[in-house]
Structure 1
Amino acid sequence: MLLVLVAVVGWRVWQVKEALGASEDAASALEAAIRDDDSAAADRAQTDLENHAAAADSGTSGPIWSTLRHLPLIGDDADAVRLASSALVDLVRSAVPALRTVADQRDDLLPQDGQVPLDRIAALRDPVATADRAVGRSADRLDQVDADALLGPLRSRWRSLVERVDQARADLTAARAAVDLLPTMLGGDGPRHLLLIFENNAEIRATGGLPGSAAEVTADDGRLSLGRQVAGSDLVGTTPVLPLTEAERRIYGPRLATDFRQANWTPDFPRSADLWEANWNQRFPADPVDGVVAIDPVALSYLLRATGPITVGAVTLTSDNAVDELLSNVYARIPDPPDQDVFFRQVAAAVFARFTSGVQDTSALLGAFRQGVTEGRIRVQSSLPAEQGALARFSIAGVLPTTPTREPQLGLYLVDATGSKMSYYLRTAAQVEAVSCVDRVQRFDVTATLSSTLRPEDAAALPDYVAGDYEDIALDRGDQIVTVRLYGPIDGRVVTQSIDGATPKKAPIVESDGRGVATVYLVVPPGRSVSVTWRVQTPAGQTGSPQLQLTPGVTANEVSVDPSAC
């Protein structure tokens, strides 16, 4: 009888394991089919997923599994598998059909003939909300389980499952906000006017790059039109467009509020957007804007995967060459800055026309947009408090954290100080090393390493406009000065600072909204690397793993962050 009991239990466990594994395979197949817009394959995968999920749920519902849940050693694991099976059934019954509805309509959501179909976006509110609620329920169920109490093989799988469900929850929460906000932000309740900022990563700024040009975009009931285009250099004044705080004056200086091109010396995108908007509205009071959208050439290269090549004059921009053409080759091909501005305006108009006339590859466009937002290359701000309050919960808003969380918040932000386009050759690596945890207080070493990919022998051939004002600040041609700012943990401390392994010294700090800000200026010669390391300390209670924000550059940053030291 004992052997029979063991065999029956083993058989049931094996059935559930197979059903859950098959469910994971079916879910991956469904995701791929939706991405490839293959309805027949999606139908098959959904049916398989429903069957396997039902089998797992049935296998963990009877008396055998109930007994397993009360046994020592394996009871927690059996209970976790039961919760996972139950959550899976809920997802399959509620979330999957709703998401299929959204996926089936995605091709109808993009601009056609210059207009975004706002009614179709609004129609997605119910299915997106249904999927969001279902995923939220599942996430709440999974959160009931203490992963540390599970056996090794299940523990890692469980954490992977929780991570995927949490990511789905975050994505759906963002999608729900998007379908709620887009109809009004695109003129559903009356014309809206947005300021489109093009950030040039070849001259790095804290949010990404120099705002070299700006354009007015009008949205009226979803119909988009491109208006006035202005070079950032034409929006420079002597009077602050907004008052600065004492901390802003000490960290950035007065030009933050007088020079359109320096408004994003601060890494807080909503603050930069407010300054850009105030500058524009002061200069063009008859055409005020009520929101800001920023994008850089790297994100543009992602979008070109969906739009296909775009020809501007004698140059054809593709996803492969756009970054090099817009951040480097243009300065060799067009030496006169005003002529460069003309070219950039032509590129903006061509991209805008292609995007609004209709994009065929919806999946590629959504993937490009997601990548751009994730990397901090696409940002959005609304001057209407209710809209901005909704946006501020998501990374697309680019908000600088100032509210304490369990996870220590750190930030590394760069600004070109050479007056050049040398950041095209700049590469950044960041490392956060756990040092200690004493009485729930963590210490970390935060290191930024800046490298130049410019070969020393190529420095002499640089155009003067690219090399910048190196002679006025006693540099050699090809050198660049980069301002590096560390934003320390909220309510914590930046203890010491060390450049290239020198003896650590007390770091000069300016307090800003509860965060210590340390500033250092690094000279990066051609072909060389320079590093700076800060020792930071969290307040008691911030015992989670650190979160690090960085300035997006011409290429992806190299990032290594240790888990919590506690």
Structure 2
Amino acid sequence: MLVALVAYTVVTAVRLWVAYDEMVEARGRLLSVEASLRQEGLDASPATLAEAESQALSAQVTFRSARGMLDSEPLLRVAGWAPLLGSQISAARAIAGIGYEGSEISLDGIAALRTLNAMTAEEDGTLGEKLGLFVEAIEPQMEAVEHRLAAIRLRREGIDTRWILPPLSNFVEQLDARLVRVEESVDRYRHGRAVVNHVLGFDQRTSYLMLGLDNTELLPGGGLIGIYGVITFEDGRIVERSFSEVDELYYGWQARSGGEYVEPPGPLKRYLLRDWTWNFAVSNWSPDFPISARQALSFYDRAGADPVDGVIAVDFAGLEGLLAVLGSVEVEGYGVTVDSQNVTEEILARIGKPLRAEDGKHAFARAVAAETVENTLVADQDKWVALAEMLDRLTEEKHLLLYVNDHEVQDSVRELGWAGQVRVEPGDYVMAVEASLNSSKLNLVVERELDLQIELDEAGTAHHQLILRYRNGLDDWAPSHDVQLVRDIMLDGLYGGYLRLLVPPQAELLEVAVDGRPVGAEEIIQEAGKASFGRYLPLPSGSQAALMFTYSVPAAANVSRATHEYRLLVQKQPGIRAAPLDVAITLPPGAGVESVSLDGQVLPDAPLKIAMTSSADRELVVRYEL
């Protein structure tokens, strides 16, 4: 009897292993599909799509076969009643069903990419028009994906992970990670569709206030507003566009209001505006772009301008990125060709030097902006994919920002990561915010580095020392440029930087020092849901300085479970260019690190000293045991 029972168990285990082995093979094919499509992205070739389709169909057949074996094999059906073995068989059936649905999702994705390929091959229609048609055309596939994801989630919830053993448990862990990514992709599509339809005027005709941000004269919300425009969209096309001088808006407001005065924020008044009113050009004092956008709209409305549906802002880095894809642009009337390498300095060189006196001091910048906006929407088909990828990168790096008056659409903008808002999330937080308050373009040459050292104690308090190292590189830049240009845009070479450090609201400031000398904070306030510590830092040409903030954040780490977790979000200020960022974390005595991840990716060897760049928001998660 015992021998028969052992034989029965062995045979059942072998059949279960055969089914598992088939599923591993099928999973490998789906991973191959994912890798090939991820590598080529939206620009996947017909050959790549054909190979991916073949692999997905093969995986589908294999998962169907494994599921059939698990459902129909008599020994496995009987073994399903055994407590531990039954849990393995039940989990294997669920995984086979999940694999089959995953194969279908892969096929739906391939069909969507084929639709994109077909549309880019058609010659009629602009990028904006085709974008709207594309999101409509792939709606059936996306609905099918959502239904399949719901089926997968239901099967996954039926797997009791307490009783399944390796290798099935490893399979489920990997499934969970990939399922989250697929669900996030579908959510991004839904939010993207809402934003495209609204902003590009597919729902109804829309008009947007466009801000040209000069991030060589940095402000917290991206840069000095040098020019502005109004762009009207209908069915994916620009039907009206105009760009104007900011001075015209200012003087129109002052004439209309009889000289209205709006009190500026304290540092802006002390170091730049003095007796002048707060105004449109410097309205973006908040590093939270939705707040800055609403403030710009407030000054815009004061001038009696026509209502708009939201705000689009782009800085010089955004302009450079677009021209890197679009190619050079010949600026009509000026005999000048600008490209991604020279556009910033060509615009700066022509501020205050119009062809005609009546054109205004930013006439050249307005001409470049108008040409670039137009060329973006009517770009050739072979540039569409690269353009879409560049726009996504520029929004991630906060060189292109969007604010929509409609609250539901703005929620989608935020979910896509295009809003540039100060994020409120559990854990620790830091954002270094910079403002140039000496009316010069020195952010073109000022270099900076960030060094953040964090020591965690047993209670979960994080003790911080953040050092911001600055160097005014004008002495290196000036010799290769026209003497008068240097004088015009760099003045006397003194960089007047006002620095704010945004940290969790419960943070306690201990010290502010410059080059090791305590100087204290000029301002300690709460803004955008954070504590804010402010300090002015003058930096003459060729000099360097280190500004250090020492502070502590209680309850920065979650120590309520056996595995403690420390989360740190380092947010990038809108408009500022990437800088080196070094983070070093010291755990409490006796603690052992379990894992370290950066931006959702687990880092090999779990390092506690990490060198990166502040090109975008960075999120660090450290799990440790104590």
Q: TM-score w.r.t. structure 1 length?
A: 0.79
1:91 has 2:108 as partner: no
Match of 1:263 among 267, 271, 283: 283
Match of 2:129 among 110, 116, 121: 116
Gaps of 5+ in 1: 472-476
Partner of 1:515: 530
Tell me, in whole angstroms, the C-alpha distance in 2 between the residues paired with 1:102 and 1:483: 47
1:528 has 2:544 as partner: yes
Contact 2:351 2:361 survives alignment (8 Å):
yes
What amino acid is the match of 1:407? G
SS at match of 1:393: helix
Partner of 1:388: 410
Partner of 1:317: 338
In the TM superposition, what is the alpha-carbon distance from 1:297 to its structure 2 partner?
Answer: 2.5
Which aligned pairs between 1:370-519 and structure 2 lie closer than 5 A? Answer: 370-401=392-423, 403=424, 405-456=425-476, 458=478, 477-502=492-517, 508-519=523-534
Tell me, in whole angstroms, the C-alpha distance in 2 between the residues paired with 1:347 and 1:300: 9
Partner of 2:378: 357
Alignment CA distance shift 1:186-1:459 (3 Å): same
Tell me, in whole angstroms, the C-alpha distance in 1 between the residues paired with 2:553 and 2:518: 18
Alignment CA distance shift 1:167-1:523 (3 Å): farther
In the TM superposition, what is the alpha-carbon distance from 1:280 to its structure 2 partner?
Answer: 2.1
SS at match of 1:276: helix
Tell me, in whole angstroms, the C-alpha distance in 2 between the residues paired with 1:146 and 1:93: 25
Match of 1:537 among 541, 553, 573: 553
Partner of 1:292: 311
Contact 1:129 1:176 survives alignment (8 Å):
no
1:49 has 2:59 as partner: no
Which aligned pairs between 1:153-172 and structure 2 lie closer than 5 A? Answer: 165-172=179-186
Alignment CA distance shift 1:9-1:92 (3 Å): closer
Alignment CA distance shift 1:266-1:420 (3 Å): same
Alignment CA distance shift 1:33-1:520 (3 Å): closer
1:20 has 2:27 as partner: yes
| Rg larger in structure | 2
Which aligned pairs between 1:152-231 and structure 2 lie closer than 5 A? Answer: 165-231=179-245
Tell me, in whole angstroms, the C-alpha distance in 2 between the residues paired with 1:422 and 1:104: 47
Partner of 1:273: 293
In the TM superposition, what is the alpha-carbon distance from 1:264 to its structure 2 partner?
Answer: 1.4
In the TM superposition, what is the alpha-carbon distance from 1:423 to its structure 2 partner?
Answer: 0.4
Tell me, in whole angstroms, the C-alpha distance in 2 between the residues paired with 1:171 and 1:102: 14
Alignment CA distance shift 1:442-1:114 (3 Å): closer
Contact 1:499 1:533 survives alignment (8 Å):
no
In the TM superposition, what is the alpha-carbon distance from 1:197 to its structure 2 partner?
Answer: 1.1
In the TM superposition, what is the alpha-carbon distance from 1:203 to its structure 2 partner?
Answer: 1.0
Alignment CA distance shift 1:445-1:90 (3 Å): farther
Partner of 1:474: none
SS at match of 1:545: strand
Tell me, in whole angstroms, the C-alpha distance in 2 between the residues paired with 1:462 and 1:439: 58
Q: Determine what percentage of the aligned residue pairs are the same residue.
A: 17
What amino acid is the match of 1:533? F
Contact 1:294 1:379 survives alignment (8 Å):
yes
Match of 2:569 among 530, 547, 552: 547
Show CA shifts across 1:88-136 (max 9, x none).
Answer: 4323213541563265137748993696254554444443344356557
In the TM superposition, what is the alpha-carbon distance from 1:559 to its structure 2 partner?
Answer: 3.1
Show CA shifts across 1:185-214 (max 9, x none).
Answer: 333444321111121221112232222111
Tell me, in whole angstroms, the C-alpha distance in 2 between the residues paired with 1:83 and 1:444: 47
SS at match of 2:427: coil
SS at match of 2:211: strand
In the TM superposition, what is the alpha-carbon distance from 1:140 to its structure 2 partner?
Answer: 9.0
Gaps of 5+ in 2: 1-6, 71-75, 559-564, 584-619
Contact 1:213 1:232 survives alignment (8 Å):
yes
SS at match of 2:302: helix
Show CA shifts across 1:324-351 (max 9, x none).
Answer: x232244346663776611111111211
What amino acid is the match of 2:111? R
Alignment CA distance shift 1:522-1:506 (3 Å): closer
Q: How many residues align?
A: 545
SS at match of 2:129: coil
In the TM superposition, what is the alpha-carbon distance from 1:11 to its structure 2 partner?
Answer: 7.3
Contact 2:427 2:556 survives alignment (8 Å):
no
Alignment CA distance shift 1:15-1:168 (3 Å): closer
Match of 2:302 among 254, 274, 282: 282
Tell me, in whole angstroms, the C-alpha distance in 2 between the residues paired with 1:178 and 1:224: 19
In the TM superposition, what is the alpha-carbon distance from 1:518 to its structure 2 partner?
Answer: 0.6
Show CA shifts across 1:298-356 (max 9, x none).
Answer: 2233223442322224333334x1xxx23224434666377661111111121122123
Contact 1:302 1:368 survives alignment (8 Å):
yes
SS at match of 2:223: strand
In the TM superposition, what is the alpha-carbon distance from 1:219 to its structure 2 partner?
Answer: 1.6
Contact 2:287 2:422 survives alignment (8 Å):
yes
Show CA shifts across 1:379-426 (max 9, x none).
Answer: 11112333324433332112223x4x3233322221112211110113
